[in-house]
Each structure stands twice: as structure tokens, then as C-alpha cells.
Structure 1
């Protein structure tokens, strides 16, 4: 399919099409509302750029292919050229689906989509339903997290470019895996962002942690909103992407009568109907408010699901004992009970870290599957001073307990790449900014950020923050695929497989019914060991998950409405049946162990 170049550039008085091969320039024709249109069509593989008022060539903000990077010309990409093999694919509802978050650049030593596709069978064996890719939008440099991308329509060339993403999605569908794409609409990265030259893509009427906000409600915002919505629709239509994780939607400042996300939800819903398969929208939100889940007809944003950081904080703080920074209000079993039954710990009460009341209660009728939870993710690992995973600080029994609390919760569970085998590799904050000033600014900011938050106390002394620009910081973050075969890692990997399989085999453990979820807490002995030391019994319908975080075995009384048997155990365990109907079962649970009954 040929491309007729078009550009929304209301700030320009003259726009020319530049064909870099021969440096030829031809004027674009001005149309209404600041649009400029070429009188030529370009074939697949043709490089092109735009010159505004005689200036240097700039890439197309809707470029599908940027083989020379974010400062170079766009290349025409015909998405219809790919030979799809997924005609029978009917999609996956992300609600309740086991999700696996991975970063393309560090998932394999090669750091490409093709190499990631070669590892999909590992995810199938694990029992994953949805593969969530961290952002693949192009950014300057080779290595980075992807959250400083500047081209919503393209794929980072070192990952393989746009056709490699099509091939990855096709390969995932062939083995029964859905693909979720992490997309960032709340800001653009600092390098290669030329939108301010074109038109009012940004506004000073709102501010964000990255500066002026994306213009969603001011003059010209209808075109900015179209630029965002069209990108999502295109990924779903032309790349067969099944779902989208929407980064930090609380930073999408929008005072218009119809929020951007409501518009996006309605348009994605229409496309999903036309495609005959679900297309999910999962919001990362710091608001602790389920208005994002309400339908657009009821004034909500119509999101399929949203992340629930409070559940992570409650599990992490309990298991590790960490209570610095935003963990300050977490760490007790009572707080964990709140998180597992009410989702938000901060649901209108005081948030100590924020210094103000925060959030709103989750209505009783909201299913648990509307919330994505995790024991680790890219933020919770990478935004630590050393990028250390829980496996660096928690023993195998603690990791097994964390996995059980996440995977057998009433929520939608997500695993972070390597978590399933207790990867020893860290996942650090790494960048590859070619600009010296920007590189130094990132270094200084990272060091400054970890001067507080209790990091000195946590690590037992001053923190030597890894240099984000040092290639060694990136290399240290690449998964070591020899580890899953090592006995200590293989055992944890098998435990994750067993827990995921139980979700499929035991309806009570797969359910999102929060009304049939309860957490029973047994007295904990006093100890100097890190983390809470005691016994928890998670009620999931008629099933029970007994977690012994103490360093001594325990005989745990478990009340149940019917006879139960051990269906999974970390480090063993036995059930002594009750002698009378009124007596509880007694479960022998070794120290730092988990027993699942159903």
C-alpha cells in the first residue's frame, strides 16, 4: 500500500517533502486545520522527511519505520505485506489471564523480538496467557527501558523494526499467547522529540513530572487526541496486538467533557467488534480510584482493568520487612488482608508517603480480575537503587510464599521476566543517551534520587548507584538463560508452573470473587529475622492457601466446609483430618513453606 505523506503542522507557513536519497524537495499543499498534504505517493521502503519553513528535515510523527533512529528520515512501511498465519486467532480476555512482563532488550542476550519469539515455548510451559512487552517505541540510543520513546507508530530498530513486531505477534498467537503492548502517551522522551515545532502537541496549562503536559483539552487538541487514538487502533488492526498497558494515565491531564481514555475505550471497542476478538485496555494509575473501570456511558473511562500497586506493596513489605519510602504504610498482615479483599489500602484514608488522604473505596461489585497485581515488575525492581530483585534479599521459601499470594489471589496476576525462576540477575535503570549533557543529567538525577528513601539503611551503608550510561549496567540486566536448569532455580520455576496450573484446575483459585476471599492471621513469634514471621491462611472459596513465613514448622488449624486434600506444597506438608464435623483440619506446614488445599 502506497503512502500519501500528510503532516499536521499548524505552526508552519511552508512545508516541503524531503526525499533524502537525492535531497529532492517538493512543496506540500496546505489544507484546513493546519494539515499539509503531498501530491505524490511513496512506495514501501522509500525514505522521506519533512522540512518546515526551510529548516532541517524532520521525521514524520506518524512514522511507522525509523531505521536510522529518531533523528533520521522515516521509511514507508506497508503493514499489509506481512503474511499472517493467525486467521483462527480469537483473542484472550486479559481479565484473570496470567500475564508475563518482559523487556525485549534484556529478555535475551540478542535483545531482539526475533530472539524473544524463540523463547515463547518457555512461557507456554509456564502457563502464561498474555505476553506484555515493555514499550517498543523508538528512542535515541540503542539501550533503554523504552519509556522515553518519541515515535508512537514505530518500533525501535535495534529490536528488529515493525515487521519484527508483526512476526512476534504472529508467533505468539501460533502458540496460544496474546500480546499486550505497553504504550506511553503521557510524555515523550527528551531526544528526537520535534513535536513542539509542528503544533500545540503540548500545553503549559497542565504540568507533569516531565514538564508541560500533552495537550488533550486545549486549542488543537482534537488532532493530538487523534494522533494518540489512531496509534492504538493501528497496533490492534495492523499488528494484531491484543491489549495495551497504558502508562501512568494519572498524568494524562484532560479537563475536556470527554476524557481521552473514554474516547479511546469507545473507539477500541468498536474496532474489537469489527475484528471479532477482544482488545483490552489496562491502565496504570496512581489514583486508587475505579472511575477508570466504569463504563463510558456511566461517566468512566471504560478501562478493561487497572494495576493495583497497593497489593504489591502489601506483599513485598510483609515478606521483606521493608518500610521505607512508599512502603511506610505497609508491612503488617492486617494491611495485607485489606489489600487482598478491598484492593486499595489507601482508599480514602491518609497516605503517609503522600502526606494527604488518598484514593477511594472499591465498590463490592467490582470483580477482582479487574486489577493486575504482581510480586515484582519493571518499576518495583528497576527503580530500586541497585535494581535488585526480591530474589537477592528473600530466601526460597519467601519467594514461594510471594508467588502463591500473587498467583492464587482473586486478581489478574502478572510475573516479571525471570521472576519465575528467582533470577539472580538485577534489572537496573540503564540508558544510552548519545548527548553528553543529557547523559550527565541522568547520572546526577539518579544519584540524587537515592540519597533518601531509606536506601542507606536498607543496604547497610552508602549506596553506589550504578551509572545508567555504563554499558555494564545494561549487560548486568540481561537474563541468564542457563539459570532455569540449575536445581535451586528449576525448583522455583516448577513451583510457579504448579501454581499457574492450579488456577486452571481449581475454579475457586481462579475466581475473581472478592466476597469469597479472606485472610486469616495466626500469631507471629517475635524474631530479628527480616519480614513478618507467622502463619497466614488465605481463603479462596472452599480452597485454602496456608503460608508459614516463620522459621519453625507449624501445626495450623484450618476450618473448611468440606474435606480438603493437599494439591500443592512447597517443602512438603500433611493434613490431619478432623475427627468431628465441628473440628478444624490440622495442617503440618514446614518452616518457610506453603501448602495449598482444595
Structure 2
């Protein structure tokens, strides 16, 4: 597959580094000193432990404390000390000595020399996203081990890696959505330089890297900011931890700088904001999500930097394009409705989250393929008179990130089953072909490329007594993800190390006959997407989708992509059907028929799918 960047072994070692000067935490100055700065309005005095020495910090007003120190080498441990003697790590520290309850360590960000410093990214239209969890992607569970798998993913046609959250959290293992030190890569995965090397290696292979960031709450275990600066958070929290008050400048600056820090110092190609709809409830004149996006766009005008949200509101204002079709705010949004419809139809699971999607399957599947969201300003069964969503057909199809499953959909089921354990292989092949060859941005969960049947659970490492993972709540959540027949005794304890171990991806599965055949078919689909579809998506605008037919498993959708018409025809029903004709070059066929037979759409057989470009 054609990549826009040279292979890693063809690129000279470039003696360049990247540094982001934070306003919080520890920073080396140009003179070689270290400035320590922390907002802690809840305490009258604050000190700093440097090795074995405790040094008073100076208050500078509005709750800020500072200290300038000299002759501190990288690797020096430090912690902030409150009047009662409690020592806490740096909320904006780059690395930890051991865990979130111990001291931070000084890091010189100029120490890592980037091999591919000239990398400027790839257009969003080229994204084929592969979501992975560092701790379970390999047996070792580290950045270094994950980097060794990148050449294989690039060879398949993946163009973007999406890392589940890596911000340091309590314990050794977890999904990462309860991070408490947002600037610190989780120690179990490796050092900051290990993470940079992973990203550097990806860039040498032509792969973008996006990071999942959680700004809607901070976790509970190791959250010392709650004591140092309770004003950092709103009174109204979440089930997973306190919610930052982004209407306050210290809080907003901390989070916006965190986004800029990851993008600059780690050369990331983008961020995916978890549960963005839970962030934007502040009363600020400029809403946080808009402010963050504009700051990112202003800071990196010469690079392709992509911003994606998870947002259950199905709103469009964050994704509107400018007159020149550029992206002022957010490139994309996770399209949960697409997944919910496909899952409910394919598996027959109609409860919980799928209840609102358990009817009119094919008209609605056709609707989301042609025009984006499933819910575009309509009422939902069981939700009263509330209207959900907004019309989205005017947005480019690449606004919508479609997937057949992700970490949530498998891990929250209770039994940890992936989709491939719930449907037959032929149906899986057709659903994958339809997703990969549609103009929306496809997202795969690690193992999808060989249709892994290994289980992926929710796992954690919470201390005893922490009010998390109540069994009744876990059971209800699991039932909401389709497993209505799940019993309490089937719920695995997420805190047991075995739950984490079982969730590791089984790479031997990829080397079985079925695994190899599946990867070959997957590579073929992505080669077709790269060769025939991606060039048509480069400057695609909105209003290009046209739904011709969608009923009883029969599907016909066209997209006008510039001067080319991209045409999808599929028969997921049980009888032969007549579908609208196609014109042009056959890109892909899924059927036992010959090409001549399948193009006769007056006798389109069950189980057939064809994609044509004319």
C-alpha cells in the first residue's frame, strides 16, 4: 500500500527534539534552572521535596505557588508537601518514580531525539483507525512491545493508531479512563521516551497516532487535586470521579495545555475526546470544546492535526466546515448509532442501549450511510418528548467514524464477547466490507483484522474500599450492552489479575489458517479503499449521499464524490431481489456468483454485495 512517508530504515537520524512549556508543574528554563509551579488555593503554605530536602515554595497570588531551583539533574525525584506533611506527585509531571501515590521525577524533554522530525501527518480523509489498549495489545503490555507490531499493521493498510488513554492512573492495570495525572504516561507502559519512540516508529511507517484523552472527569484513586484545589472541580461529579470546572481559567488552562502538550511534545497526530458531551456544560462565553479546538488549530497550522469527539448528542455545530471545506473545529465524531443499528440487527440483541435502534433497521442503516447520524431530530422510544440529534446530511461523510465494535462494546458486555463470536463468518465479512468501502472513516478494534474471538473485559486495579465497580452497577451496565440474560455469578471481578490477563490479544489466533485468510481479505479491502476511494475523499463536501433503496435487507446507496459516483449494493435478505442498477468499474464483489451474474441486479442473490465506481 502506498504510504506518504518513507520506511523507518530509510530515514536518517534527525537530531531534533520537541518541548512544550507548561504553566503548571516542573519546567527546565533556558538557563538550566527548574521552575516548579502549582495552583493549590486550598492550602496556605506549600513546600517541595527535592530528594531528601524539603524547601518552602513562595505564594504568588490567586492560589499559585512557585519555586526556582538550580543544579537539578533529570531523574531527580520531587513531590509537593502540604502543611500536614502529605506528599503528592506533580499533577502536571512528566513521569513518576513508581505510581500515582509516590513522587514525580524530573524529565528533560530535549533528551529524546526524533528520527522523523519532519513528519507533518496525513489528511483526515486517509484515516483508517485501529484502536488499541497498550496493556493488552501484547503480552508485555508496553509501548516498546507494541511498536514491534506496527509494521504488520501498516502492511495491512491501517493508517492511524488510536491509543486508549495512557494518562497515569491508580494501580498497574486498567482501561485508562480514570487517569489522575494527565501529563504522565502510565508507568506500567514505559517511560515518556518509550511512548515517543512508539510514535516515532509509527511515523516512519506512514502511520498517524491519535490519543484518547479524558477531560470530562478525573479518577478517584490518586486524585490529589481534589484536596489541593477543590475549586478545580464542579460540585456535580460523575460516577467515575469529579468533573473539572472548565469555566475557571486555571482548570481550563490546565486541560487545554494538556492537549497542546501531547500534540507538541509527543508529536501526536490527533486527539479523541472521551464523552465530550459531559464536558460542555459550563456557562462560559466561549465554550470549552470550541476554545480547545481553536487553540489547537492556531498552534499547529503547518501540521495535519485531527480532533475527534465521542458525543452522544448527535450535534453538528462542532463539525461544520468552512467555505473552503477546511475544518475550523473537529474533524470527526464517533457514530455510535451506526454501530447500534448493525449490532442490534446482526445479533438480535434489542435491549438496553440497543432498544432505541431495534426497529426499521434497513431504512435507518441506509440513512446513516447516506447522511451521517441515525438520530437527526427525532424522539426515542422510552425517552418522552425529548428530541435527539440534528440533521447531518450537509456534513462530509468523513465526519463520521463508523465501527462494528470498540473497547466499550466488547468490554462492557459482562462476558467480554467480541462481535465475531456472536455472528457467522460470512455475515462478518460482508459487514466489514460494507464499512471499509463506505466513504465514512472506519475504526477497527485490535484483533478485528483477524476476527479475534478472544474476550476483552473491563479490568481494574483499585485499592480495597474504593467505591468503584459495584457488582449491581456492573451487571446493569452489562445488560445495557446487549446481554440481558447475564446473571450476577457470570460477572468477572475486574480487580482480579486474571481478568486483565484473559483480555490480552492472542496473536497466535492471527497465525491460524482462518486468521491468515481473514487478514488477507482485510488487506485486500483496504488496498481497494486506498486505491479507489481515498483519492475521491480528499476534498469531499457534504450532501453527497443518496439513499436509493433500504428495506428488508436490500440496500442501495450512492455517493457523488466529485465527478465520480461511488455505488454500494447489498442484499442481506433471504430472497433474490431487484436493486437499482450500477454503472462503472467494479471495485469489490462479495458473492459466489461471477461478476457477470452479480451485476444483473434484477436477480441479486442473498448474501451478495457489490461496490462500483462510475
TM-score, length of structure 1 as denominator length:
0.89
Give matches, 1:168-247, under 5 Å: 168-204=198-234, 206-210=236-240, 212-217=242-247, 221-247=248-274
What are the residue-to-residue correspondences of 1:412-561 with 2, within 5 Å? 412-433=441-462, 435-438=463-466, 441-450=469-478, 455-457=483-485, 464-507=490-533, 511=537, 515-521=543-549, 524=552, 534-541=553-560, 542-550=565-573, 554=576, 557-560=579-582
- After superposition, the C-alpha distances for 1:506-533 in whole angstroms (9 at most, x for unaligned) are 2489545664434455764xxxxxxxxx
Partner in structure 1 of residue 14 of structure 2: none
The Cα shift of 1:259 comes to 1.2
How many angstroms does 1:307 deviate by?
1.4
What are the superposed Cα offsets for residues 77-115 of structure 1, whole Å, 9 maximum, x if unpaired?
Answer: 111110101123121233451111110011111110111
The one of 311, 314, 325 aligned to 2:352: 325
Partners of 1:450 and 1:304 lie apart in 2 by: 31
Which residue in the other structure is 1:8 paired with?
39
Offset of residue 165 of structure 1:
0.8
Which of residues 59, 70, 75 is equivalent to 1:45?
Answer: 75
SS at match of 2:569: strand
Deviation at 1:74, TM superposition (A): 0.5
Q: Is the 8 A contact 2:412 2:478 kept in 1?
A: no
Cα deviation 1:146-188 (Å, max 9, x = unaligned): 0011011000011002111111111000111111011111111
Matched-pair contact (CA < 8 Å) for 1:296–1:302: no
Change (3 A) 1:383 1:338: same
| Offset from partner CA, 1:414-466 (integer Å, 9 cap, x none) | 11111121101111111111x21227754453235346676334x6x777112
Provide the secondary structure at the position in 1 that maps to 2:294. helix
Other-structure match for 2:282: 254
Question: What is the CA–CA distance in structure 2 between the aligned matches of 1:556 and 1:296, rounded to whole Å?
Answer: 40
Task: Give secondary structure in 2 for the equivalent of 1:92.
Answer: coil
**CA offsets 1:270-328 (integer angstroms, 9 cap, x no match):** 2212xx2122111111111012224799xx98222221111111222222222111212
Alpha carbons 1:50, 1:60 under 8 Å: kept: yes
C-alpha spacing 1:284/1:450, structure 2 compared with 1 (3 Å): closer
- Partners of 1:522 and 1:341 in 2: CA distance: 11
RMSD between aligned residues: 2.7
Q: 1:430 to 1:508 in 2, by over 3 A?
A: closer
Question: Who is 2:592 aligned against?
Answer: 572
Q: Name the CA shift for 1:31/1:508 in 2 (closer, same or farther; >3 Å).
A: closer
Corresponding residue of 2:163: 133
What is the Cα deviation at residue 371 of structure 1?
1.6
Q: How does 1:79-118 map to 2 (within 5 A)?
A: 79-118=109-148
CA distance in 2, matches of 1:464, 1:127: 38
Q: Answer yes or no: is 1:265 the counterpart of 2:293.
A: yes
Q: Residue 393 of structure 1: CA displacement? A: 0.6
Write the distance in 2 (CA, Å) between the matches of 1:201 and 1:112.
35
The equivalent residue for 1:581 is none
Question: Post-superposition shift, 1:380?
Answer: 1.5
Is the alpha carbon distance of 1:518 and 1:477 closer, same or farther for their aligned partners in structure 2, counting shifts above 3 Å? Answer: farther
Per the alignment, do residues 381 and 392 of structure 1 end up closer, same or farther by CA in structure 2, a change over 3 Å counting? same
The number of aligned residues is: 569
CA contact (8 A) 1:16 1:25 kept: yes
CA deviation vs aligned residue, 1:487-519 (integer Å, no higher than 9, x gap)? 222222222222222222224895456644344
Bigger shift: residues 364-373 or 140-149? 364-373
Question: Any stretches of 5+ residues in structure 1 without a counterpart?
Answer: 525-533, 579-583
CA drift of 1:68 comes to 1.1
Deviation track 1:56-89 (CA, whole Å, cap 9, x = no partner) reads 1111111110131101101011111101011231
Q: Map residues 401-416 of structure 1 onto 2, 5 A cutoff.
A: 401-416=430-445
Corresponding residue number in structure 2 for 1:527: none
Does the CA-based 8 Å contact 1:574-1:588 persist in structure 2? Answer: no
Unaligned runs of 5+ in 2: 1-27
User: Aligned equivalents of 1:169 and 1:489: distance in 2?
Assistant: 27
**Counterpart position of 1:596:** 611
Pick from 422, 425, 431 the counterpart of residue 396 of structure 1.
425
In structure 2, the CA distance between the partners of 1:573 and 1:538, relative to structure 1 (3 Å rule), is: farther
State TM-score, norm by structure 2: 0.86
Q: Residues 373 and 411 of structure 1 are in contact (CA less than 8 Å); yes or no, is this contact kept in structure 2?
A: yes
8 Å Cα contact 1:325/1:353 also seen in 2: no
- Deviates further, 363-372 or 135-144: 363-372
Pair 1:357–1:137, CA change in 2 (3 A): same
